[in-house]
Amino acid sequence: MEVAQRLRAPEGTRTDVARDPRPDHGRPLETEYRPRRPLDLRRTVLFQRRGRNDPTMAATASVIWRASRTPHGVATLALRETHPGVVRGAAWGPGAEWALDQLPALCGSADDPAGFEADRHPLIADAHRRHPGLRLSRTGLVFDALAVAIFEQKITGMQAFAAWRRIVTWHGERAPGPTPVPLFAPPTVDGWRRIPSWVWHRAGLEPPQAKTVVRAAARGASLVRAVHRAQDGEAVDRALISQPGVGPWTSAETRIRALGDPDAVSVGDFHLAHEVGYALTGSRTDDDGMLELLAPWAGHRQRVIRLIGASGVSEPRRAPRLHPEDHRDR
């Protein structure tokens, strides 16, 4: 497995990623990571961001910032590509060392493309050729990925991202470091369980999703252990789906972000089957049709889906954009 070389800034100096006019946040722990394969840092890592105003992530022209709640506490991670093939990472907070240890996986080091045959379809072959640095990122943070996937159940992305932003900002923890905007780490597992019902309503999340998050948090530690003990994707899927309110779509979304599962397919997604069908055949299809189209790439179906997204090919919009009604004041 690829590892990053650990560095520490000399006493009394400030690193490029730490330049900020606000009060000093202490010396960061630093890493230099040299991936063995081409890496598109922004396309790989920013896939983890949930909407442009995600309170856990921010991006400037040169730096990607990520706040997370690691097993050792809150951490802020700053990533920048200093020159081609070299990623510099700096981290603040009690979870800084864990965040830097996880950095290669976040950048796709655990993503193994062996056996992937892009030339089975000209669009996939072209996207693969044009985006050789697209890697499948993994955070290693199962419960956070599960929580945000539950937020996104059966509602628009706009609604889910707004509710995520409110809950994490209100009940998360301010992340350390000289971030360009205030960032927040998600609540602890126990913190998710203790969020009052009226807060979920004010955040704009429907009761079924709120109850599912709270139920999952009640056995969050054992659920995370079960996922990490699982030997393969099917075992992970069984562990997640054993939780009430978690179905195949939510399990797949969790595995994609937390574990970088290269074969996960979000069956039941409102748009995905249409997008895959249009990209590969020029016509819409349903979930069964999508699975049939992706079958030749078994083991790498998520990789194909990501390449379709990177290709820029999408079905023309057929109707005006949906503007959901806001029920929070009712």
312 three-state secondary structure: coil
The torsion region of residue 8 among left (phi > 0), alpha (psi -120 to 50) and beta comes to: beta
Residue 22: per-residue pLDDT: 41
**Same-domain pairing of 269 and 154:** yes
> Does pLDDT of 11 surpass 80?
no
The alpha carbon of 11 is separated from its chain's Cα centroid by a whole number of angstroms, namely 34
Same domain for 161 and 306, yes or no, is yes
Pick from 50-54, 193-197, 227-231, 315-319: least confident: 315-319
Residue 17 in this model has a pLDDT that exceeds 80:
no
CATH number, domain at 89? 3.30.310
Tens digits of per-residue pLDDT, 77-119?
A: 999 999 888 999 999 999 999 999 999 999 999 999 999 999 9
Range of the domain at 27: 5-114
Mean pLDDT of the chain, nearest integer:
90
| Percent with pLDDT over 70 in the chain | 88
Q: Is residue 294 part of a domain?
A: yes
User: Are both 154 and 295 inside the same structural domain?
Assistant: yes
CATH number for 158? 1.10.340.30
Same domain, 87 and 168: no
Residues 6+ apart with CB under 8 A from 241: 247, 248, 251
Same-domain pairing of 215 and 85: no
Which of 135, 137, 134, 155 is CA-nearest to residue 145? 137
| pLDDT-above-90 percentage for the chain | 82
Does residue 5 have a pLDDT over 70? no
CA separation for the pair 65, 56 (Å, rounded): 8
Do 185 and 302 lie in one domain? The reply is yes
Segments in the chain forming alpha helices (H): 41-45, 96-106, 122-130, 142-151, 157-171, 189-193, 197-203, 207-218, 220-229, 233-241, 248-254, 272-281, 287-294, 301-311
Residues 12 and 156 in one domain: no
Residues 109 and 189 in one domain: no
pLDDT of residue 84: 85
pLDDT over threshold 50, residue 226: yes
Range 318-327 average pLDDT = 54
Average pLDDT over residues 173-190: 96
Q: Tally Cβ neighbours within 10 Å of residue 181.
A: 9
89 lies in the same domain as 216: no
pLDDT per position as a tens digit, 197-213: 999 999 999 999 999 99
Pick the last residue of a domain from 72, 98, 114. Answer: 114
The answer for residues whose C-beta is within 8 angstroms of residue 193's C-beta and 6 or more apart is: 214, 217, 218, 220
Same domain, residue pair 215 and 295? yes
Backbone φ, ψ for residue 88 (5° rounding) = -100, 130
- The total domain count for the chain is 2
